Amino acid sequence: MVKSRFLLAVLVGFLVVIGVGSPAYAAVANACTPIEVKLGTCSVGSIENGEAVIRGDQNNGGGGGNNGGGNNNDGGSGDGGNSDGSDGPGGIDTGMMCTGGAICLPDLVTLNDLARFRPNAPSLSMEPDGWLLIGLPANFIADTSRHMQTGILFDVPIEVRFTPASYNWSWGDGTTSRTSVPGATWAELGLPEFSPTPTSHVFAETGVYSVTVTVAFTVEYRAVGRAWMSIDGTLSAPAVTIAALAGDAKTVLVDKECNRNPNGPGC
């Protein structure tokens, strides 16, 4: 179990060694968060017979102590612990849990491991807004961007980063397509209305269509503060659907608009 893990991060003791402030009042120094104090895994020294005694051997049954040379306060410099999490000179037994002072992740994280992390769904819009003309391109835009989630994997706080990679469109008329771009408005593209775009679609018949986009994201993860690691494959966000009324010029421009505005021109 332990061998299958590799040490990704951090020996708190190391931080202590490089992070000790003014030596004037740092006779006994050890990084401690309130949570570590609560758990009793914090090494608080006491003065006995004129010598500093470091209590780093508490074990709360799994939390483990801090592994790192930084717990040495004998005047020498700590060695920062061993990067593989093993015991060594200056180290304190972690109980081989890879926690308490070190962050360990398995060396092979798969998409299955990250199943609890799901990229955010995009928002889907179209122009014209909610209707289209048969025979002319309607333009669809999936609004999404790279985003991050924080959570816990194998007891380790991690960050997962999703980057949109491809957009799978189901046009509702039996056809599908895949694009590498999310789409943009005609105005943003500098095109006149009803121009073809990478994410436009032409519908041949009148009716109401449900257009669905599913965005596939590439996935990276890291133990907090460490380098990003990528994972093979992609994760898809929940599909998003938009309904569009397809008509000819008369049914759409006159009939539909007359429903909205009975006093409009041509009604």
- Could you list the residues that contact another protein (CB under 8 A)? 9-10, 12, 15-16, 19-22, 25-47, 52, 55, 58, 60-64, 97, 99-103, 150, 152, 155-157, 223-225
Nearer to another protein, 90 or 101 (CB): 101
Residue type, 126: M
Residues 180 and 242: beta-carbon distance below 8 Å: no
CB of 206 to another protein, least distance (A): 49
Nearer to another protein, 42 or 219 (CB): 42
CB of 140 to another protein, least distance (A): 33
176 DSSP β-pair partners: 170
Cα–Cα distance, 182 to 124 (Å, whole number): 10
CB of 126 to another protein, least distance (A): 34
For residue 102, give the nearest of 8, 10, 15 by alpha carbon: 10
Q: In this structure, what are the phi and psi dihedrals at residue 256, rounded to the nearest 5 degrees?
A: -65, -45
CB of 215 to another protein, least distance (A): 23
Cα–Cα distance, 56 to 70 (Å, whole number): 11
Cα–Cα distance, 34 to 26 (Å, whole number): 18
Nearer to another protein, 46 or 175 (CB): 46
Nearer to another protein, 219 or 246 (CB): 219
CB of 84 to another protein, least distance (A): 16
Q: In this structure, what are the phi and psi dihedrals at residue 11, rounded to the nearest 5 degrees?
A: -95, 115
Cα–Cα distances (Å) from 259 to 180, 251, 254, in that order, read 37, 11, 9
CB of 242 to another protein, least distance (A): 32
Nearer to another protein, 60 or 176 (CB): 60
Nearer to another protein, 19 or 130 (CB): 19
Q: In this structure, what are the phi and psi dihedrals at residue 177, rounded to the nearest 5 degrees?
A: -155, 165
For residue 125, give the nearest of 207, 204, 243, 237 by alpha carbon: 243
Nearer to another protein, 34 or 266 (CB): 34
Put residue 232 in one of left, alpha, beta given phi > 0 → left and psi -120 to 50 → alpha: beta
Residues 44 and 260: beta-carbon distance below 8 Å: no
CB of 34 to another protein, least distance (A): 4
